[in-house]
């Protein structure tokens, strides 16, 4: 096979018995079972093979080698007396005749046991990532990533998309995060920016006459790390289509993703096309989040009107949201822990009460509903043994807290989450504008380059005062799976007249647009096709497929 081996450590089977072979790999373990008798596990990228030591000379050699040294073993394959059916190579073993050390491990003690590295402290795992990756369970996530990327490329090519590479050194563009800057040697005092996304480049490709573009694109954003976000860099399946609508984009991903999730996913149940579509406003009202986890059967209820005049100050004049959790038998201590966890994540204190086994309200803030028990029960359809989690504050604050309550309760209270499945949905009709918290004036809510639903006419109507700008929605959409946002996309605003009018709504004129986005504006003035796109995150996708809760588990060097 190579200069150092005739077979891999995952290759030998019963039919190889009697053959002379040469293996190379890491000495994973040595188990002595008597004088001059031991079992050695040899591991490489492909698997493990058992080597049986039966002589004093071989015993002396193996005892002198530290674990995790790389070695070469020449010997004869024979059948095991007691096969291990759990291993692909479990029918055979190798009797060594010659051993050579190729790369000696100089340490008697390792930072952690290789096959149990996932149990080690994460800082140690990251410091010794090269050892962590020797663990087959960790290595398999990287293999999965490679397979998924290859499958994505194949599927996109089959759908008629061309893979085109866009620049890494570019100009700064507004993508919602901080840029990484690179000094320009030939232009002192000036800088390139690493792309937060290839957004402008792929739109320019559409104006250039390319019909379908895709790329496994590296993106760079100076953001804080979290479970589903890598700090610094990430990869996305970036795609754009000319002469395309929102429906065309949906059709492509609904055809590309389900087979990949079915083939590579940890779970064998997934949404089929068409994915469920939920309006942004509905998602926030029903789930308290624009990233709903549809595996959870809980929903948010608005009880604001019912909660006025109760004599409980946190509810007065506030939006009040409730999440009823039926069949809940948590103890008071467990409820307090749940509420404390919600407060840490949401930043606001939740409240609670419960309907006991007889249906009577008790605990938490139940006393404040004296005289309104029946109204609350009817509003929430309360039955016995139901925990009611309550959030109050400004509308957005109450929604966010309710969303956190829903997800945590769904995960912790048995019977409310069908965990082992993939549930996709599209979040659509995002608001085009919002009132800025700091400015108090109209601002773009999300992507300023999305096409407004209603085009130029709805913007003119808003300018005339006939339409509230806050009611204007955009052809913008998110793809969500199991409560994780996989991607954002939009139908692009390709018409300079509509673009200028959209920016005038936020007090920016034509000259501002030309100055800030000269490339796209000028290109669109030469006749741009309607176009739309999206960019699912590869890292998050593989994280879901691997069944991992942290994105660092599927990145080679996080």
pLDDT tens-digit series, residues 505-550: 999 988 988 888 888 899 999 999 999 999 999 999 999 999 999 9
| Superfamily (CATH H level) for 14-103 | Nucleic acid-binding proteins (2.40.50.140)
Q: Which residues pair with 353 in a beta bridge?
A: 388
Q: Using alpha carbons, select from 248, 231, 229, 230 the residue that is nearest to residue 239.
A: 248
Element (H, E) at 215: strand 212-221
| pLDDT of amino acid 176 | 67
Average pLDDT of every residue of the chain? 94
pLDDT of 24 above 90: yes
In the chain, CATH 3.30.930.10 sits at 140-277+423-546
36 Cβ neighbours under 8 A, 6+ residues apart: 53, 54, 55, 56, 58, 59
pLDDT of 35 above 90: no
Average pLDDT over residues 438-465: 91
Q: How far apart are CA 214 and CA 206, in angstroms?
A: 11
Average pLDDT over residues 106-117: 96
In the chain, CATH 2.40.50.140 sits at 14-103
pLDDT in tens, 220-243: 998 887 777 787 899 999 999 999
pLDDT in tens, 466-490: 999 999 999 999 999 999 999 999 9
- The two beta strands, 70-79 and 47-53, are unpaired
Q: Using alpha carbons, select from 362, 406, 402 the residue that is nearest to residue 382.
A: 362
Pick the CATH number of 140-277+423-546 from 3.30.930.10, 3.40.50.1820, 3.90.1150.50, 3.40.50.150: 3.30.930.10
| pLDDT of amino acid 231 | 79
In the chain, CATH 3.30.1360.30 sits at 296-417
Class of domain 296-417: alpha beta
pLDDT confidence bin for 175, thresholds 50/70/90 = low
């Amino acid at each position: 096979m190579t200069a150092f081996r005739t077979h891999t450590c995952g290759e030998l089977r019963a039919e190889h018995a009697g053959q002379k072979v040469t293996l190379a790999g890491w000495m994973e373990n040595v188990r002595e079972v008597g004088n001059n008798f031991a079992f050695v596990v040899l591991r490489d990228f492909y698997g493990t093979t058992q080597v049986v030591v039966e002589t004093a000379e071989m015993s002396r050699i193996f005892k002198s080698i530290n674990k995790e040294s790389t070695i070469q073993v020449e010997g004869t394959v024979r059948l095991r007396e007691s096969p291990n059916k759990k291993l692909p190579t479990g029918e055979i073993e190798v009797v060594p005749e010659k051993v050579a050390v190729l790369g000696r491990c100089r340490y008697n003690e390792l930072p952690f046991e290789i096959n149990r590295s996932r149990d080690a402290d994460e800082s140690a795992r990251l410091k010794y990532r090269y050892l962590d990756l020797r663990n087959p369970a960790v290595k398999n996530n990287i293999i999965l990533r490679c397979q998924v990327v290859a499958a994505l490329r194949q599927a996109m090519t089959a759908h008629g998309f061309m893979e085109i590479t866009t620049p890494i050194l570019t100009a700064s563009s507004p993508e919602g995060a901080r840029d990484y800057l690179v000094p320009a040697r030939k232009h002192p005092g000036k800088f390139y920016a690493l792309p937060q996304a290839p957004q402008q480049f792929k739109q320019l490709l559409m104006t250039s006459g390319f019909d379908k573009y895709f790329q496994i694109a590296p993106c760079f954003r100076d953001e804080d790390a979290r479970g589903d976000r890598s700090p610094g860099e990430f990869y996305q399946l970036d795609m754009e289509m000319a002469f395309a609508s929102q429906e065309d984009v949906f059709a492509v991903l609904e055809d590309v993703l389900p087979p990949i999730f079915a083939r590579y996913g940890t779970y064998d149940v997934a949404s089929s096309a068409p994915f469920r579509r939920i309006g942004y406003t509905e998602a926030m009202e029903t789930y308290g989040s624009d990233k709903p986890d549809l595996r959870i059967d809980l929903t948010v209820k608005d009880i604001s009107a019912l909660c006025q005049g109760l004599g409980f100050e946190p509810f007065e004049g506030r939006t009040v949201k409730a999440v009823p959790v039926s069949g809940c038998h948590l103890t008071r201590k467990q409820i307090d822990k749940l509420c404390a966890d919600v407060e840490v994540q949401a930043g606001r204190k939740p409240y609670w009460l419960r309907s006991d086994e007889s249906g009577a309200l008790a605990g938490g803030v139940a006393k404040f509903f004296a005289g309104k028990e029946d109204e609350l029960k009817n509003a929430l359809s309360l039955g016995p043994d139901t925990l009611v989690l309550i959030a109050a504050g400004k509308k957005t604050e109450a929604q966010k807290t309710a969303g956190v309550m829903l997800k945590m309760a769904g995960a912790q209270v048995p019977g409310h989450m069908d965990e082992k499945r993939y549930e996709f949905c599209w979040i659509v009709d995002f608001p085009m504008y919002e009132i800025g918290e700091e400015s108090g004036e109209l601002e773009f809510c999300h992507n300023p380059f999305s096409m407004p639903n209603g085009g130029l006419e709805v913007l003119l109507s808003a300018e005339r005062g006939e339409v509230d700008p806050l009611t204007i929605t955009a052809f913008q959409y998110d793809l969500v799976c199991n409560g994780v946002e996989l991607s954002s996309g939009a139908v692009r605003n390709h018409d300079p007249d509509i673009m200028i009018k959209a920016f005038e709504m936020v007090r920016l004129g034509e000259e501002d647009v030309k100055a800030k986005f000269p490339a796209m504006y000028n290109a669109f003035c030469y006749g741009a096709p309607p176009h739309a796109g999206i960019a699912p995150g590869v890292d998050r996708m593989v994280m879901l497929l691997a069944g991992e809760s942290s994105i660092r588990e599927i990145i080679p060097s996080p």
